[in-house]
Structure formats: structure tokens, C-alpha cells
Amino acid sequence: MKRNQLLLLIILVLVATNLYLLWYVNNSQPTEEPKLTRNERLKNWVQRDLGFDSAQAEQYIALRNQRDSLLKPVNAELRDAKMRMIALKSNPEASDSLVQSVVQNIAAKQAAVELVYLAHFRRLNALCLPDQRPRLDSLLERVIKRNTGGGADSTLPRMN
């Protein structure tokens, strides 16, 4: 008889513990992290991954915004040129010279994009302290490999 009472007491304690845990989990408020702006995420990222100080991070944001404003019209032109190429798919009669012209136009627009990026990378390199440059170089190599199908690197954040 005593054994049954002991088992009943243990079961009651376990049931009470489970009920308390269910109540606690359902009534505890989840801690929401504040939503960071894109610039705040970027600033945190360059400080963490490149070792930038606060002033460097602010300069990085300014350089990135400058790059983005330079690229906006060039990307619009590139998009239009690629749309002209896509329109050729419906025209089997398009001459080889027309196709070559459209493709060369795309290549010229893409070259303009790459030149903006090269200038941006040079400004970033100048912003870095000597001990930060190897981290920047490593980062740029990983970005290039990821963006050209050379392997995905999940440690790189997407900053769209």
C-alpha cells in the first residue's frame, strides 16, 4: 500500500511540474530583438568581420551608398540591354550582326559595372589599416567565388 502511495505522489509531482512548464512556456514573453536598418546591419558586419572601428564603418557605409548611387543608372541600362537580348528569342530571323550588337552592348554595360566595383574596392582598400587588408582580400575572394559559381560560402551574409 505504501508503495502505491509513493508512486501516486511521484506521478502527481510530475504532472504538476509538466503543467507548470506548459503554463510558463505559454505565458513567457518572447524577447524580440530590435529591427536593425540595413546600414546598422552593414556597420555591425564590417566591425565584426573586417575589424573596422566606428569611424571606418561609417566611411564604409558612405562608400557603399556612393557606389550604389553610381551603379543605379548603369544597372538600369544593363537591364534594358538584357531585355533587348531576351526580345531576340522571339525573332528567329534576327541577323547575326544584330545579335552581336546587342551582346556587345551588354558587355560594355557590364564593363562599366565592373569599373565602378574596382574603384569601390580600391577605396575600401585605402580605408583599411594594414592588418585589415588580408581580411578584406579574403572576403572579396569569397564573394567572387560565390557570385561566379565557384562555391557557396554560407558565412557571407546577404545584404540585399
pLDDT at 125 over 90: yes
Cell 512548464 belongs to 21
What confidence tens digit (pLDDT) does each residue in 61-119 have? 999 999 999 999 999 999 999 999 999 988 888 899 999 999 999 999 999 999 999 99
For 48, the grid coordinates are: 565584426
Contact 63, 50 (CB under 8 A): no
Cα–Cα distance, 123 to 127 (Å, whole number): 6
The CA distances from residue 131 to 48, 50, 61, 73, 120, in Å, are: 14, 10, 20, 35, 19
What is the CATH topology of the domain spanning 38-147? Four Helix Bundle (Hemerythrin (Met), subunit A) (1.20.120)
The pLDDT confidence band at residue 157, using thresholds 50, 70 and 90, is low
Please, what is the average pLDDT of the chain? 89
Query: How would DSSP label each residue in 13-27?
Result: HHHHHHHHHHHHHHH
Three-class DSSP category at 119: helix
